[in-house]
Amino acid sequence: MSLWVVVGGQFGSEGKGKVSAFIAKQEDIDICVRCGGPNSGHSLVDENGKATILRQLPTGFVNPRTRLLIPAGALIDPAILKDELECLGLPPERVGIDRSCFIIEPKDRQAELTLGLRERLSSTLCGVGAAQSRRVLRGEDAVLARDVGSEHSWLRDYLTDVSDEVNDALDHQRRVLVEGTQGFGLSVYHSEHYPKATSRDTTAAAFLSEVGLSPRLVTDVVLVFRTFPIRVAGDQAGKLWREMTWDELRAESGYPSAIKEFTSVTRLPRRIGEFDWELAKRAVRANRPTKIALMGLDYIDYGSLGITDGSELTHKVKTFLQQFRERLSCPVSYASTSPALDHIFTMAPVMRDVSIQSKASEGSDDGFARSRETEQYSNLGSRPEG
């Protein structure tokens, strides 16, 4: 039995989709659950250079035997979901949608437009925030997946109880991955930039709640960072530590051609900044990861583009990995040197220690001490990173 939770450590677009797809294949995950709503896209690039962007379904689809679920805490736009199902050719046997998913309606997108959320918060205007508000207010106009009418009757073939299905799978020693959404720096509760935040909590604990899982079942929390974090277009989206231009990044990395990224949903230019160590420390503390995934090593040094052997990484990249371990007390477990799925690789484990993690009811008869294996990693090669 294993339960993985993949979480973003910054402001989204860290590479959660790519990491989730990698783990789904490497660990032969039985069930992959995608949290959130269609206001964020998870992308991956296959070995042929084809990019896939998903706004509702998990990227675990890359493993043909993995069942794909959308939990009760998610919000779905039926048109977007149907389009993804058809594009990937996924039958109801592979996909399950919780009966209690909330349905986003056209009036939700209109409400966000009327409220001026793009001008105020750089909202994607997908209707997620407005629908979330209606869900909380519990009015008579609220529609769950189980309540859909004839317009979306096709949804009924996919309905399931995700919490029941996933808990049953774990009870039978199967492997489950929960694919979180957005990033810790956007949490409506924990962001230091509120109200420049998203409409939900974006921690590992929140994603477990969306699915209906106990924290006691978790075996791994994978916290994903990118070497140069991004925020969406517009200063109204919120501050970015030591913001820089894409031309400055190109000069720093040594890229021979222009670099620029665009958001997955709105296709607007992303803003980029230097690695924010304080934000990373807060993300580590709130999520307590067992593994770290660091994406975008090629942005540190173009000389490492496409490398999947740690011993061949450039000195500049190895130095950053060493700094990462020392400043965050978290060695990197997974690394990536391009957007391509086949350019993500595992760092080699070199040592394990067993430490006391917690003690309940200190000094009482029913107190207990839980020990947990914690892995430390080094780079694949002669230069130690762990």
β-sheet bridge partners, residue 159: 97
Per-residue model confidence as pLDDT tens digits over 242-255:
999 999 999 999 99
Residue 129 domain-assigned (yes or no) = yes
Residue 266 domain-assigned (yes or no) = no
Range of 131's domain? 2-226
Q: CATH number, domain at 200?
A: 3.40.440.10
Residue 76 domain-assigned (yes or no) = yes
* β-bridge pairing 51-54 and 42-45: antiparallel
Name the CA dihedral angle for 277, 356, 374, 281, rounded to a multiple of 10 degrees: -10
Amino acid type, 142: A
Number of domains in the chain: 1
Q: Of all helices (H) and strands (E), which one includes residue 229? A: none
The model carries a pTM of: 0.88
Residue 47 domain-assigned (yes or no) = yes
Per-residue model confidence as pLDDT tens digits over 310-335:
989 999 999 999 999 999 998 899 99
Collapsing DSSP to helix, strand or coil, 33 comes out as: strand
**What's phi and psi for 231, nearest 5 deg?**
-135, 160
Residue 155 domain-assigned (yes or no) = yes
d(CA 8, CA 83): 26
Residue 280 domain-assigned (yes or no) = no
Q: Is 254 exposed, middle or buried (0-12, 13-18, 19+ CB in 10 A)?
A: middle
Confidence at residue 349, expressed as pLDDT on a 0 to 100 scale = 56
Confidence at residue 85, expressed as pLDDT on a 0 to 100 scale = 97
